[in-house]
Amino acid sequence: MAAKEFLSRALKLDQLINSKLEELNQCRNLAESINGSRFDECVSHSAPEEASYAKWVERIVEKEKELDAEIDRLVAVKMEISDFIGKINNPQWQCLLRNRYVLGKTWAEIAEEMGYSIRNVLRLHKKILENLEN
């Protein structure tokens, strides 16, 4: 696996988790918008039907379990990436890689923190990846 691909796994997982969080929030919003039963409806002596919101509660619980599993996976991947970065002997390289691939910062945030232009940060990043490939 190429260095960039290895390091980018956390960013991709983070995007996946964010999309699942958005989906979960939509399910919650839909569940909250369901009207409760009306008291003026006729009472039937037949077996009670499942509440209309029950299917949404089940979906929410299912989505939360999926999300928890993805978060656990993300934590494991970030720890693996962090360990890899920690073995690099150049503190400047470690800082850039950790900010990007563990903390998920943007290039602009990294450039500002390191006191470089975005262009210089991108050049340094390219140089780091080339050295890691060799």
List the structure tokens of 86: 């920690």
Local confidence pLDDT in tens for the 134 residues of the chain? 688 899 999 999 999 999 999 988 988 888 777 765 544 455 555 555 666 677 778 888 988 999 999 999 999 999 999 999 999 999 999 999 999 999 999 999 999 999 999 999 999 999 999 999 88
For residue 84, CA distances in Å to 3, 7, 73, 102 come to 10, 9, 17, 11
**pTM for the structure as a whole:** 0.74
Residue showing tokens 């796994």: 9
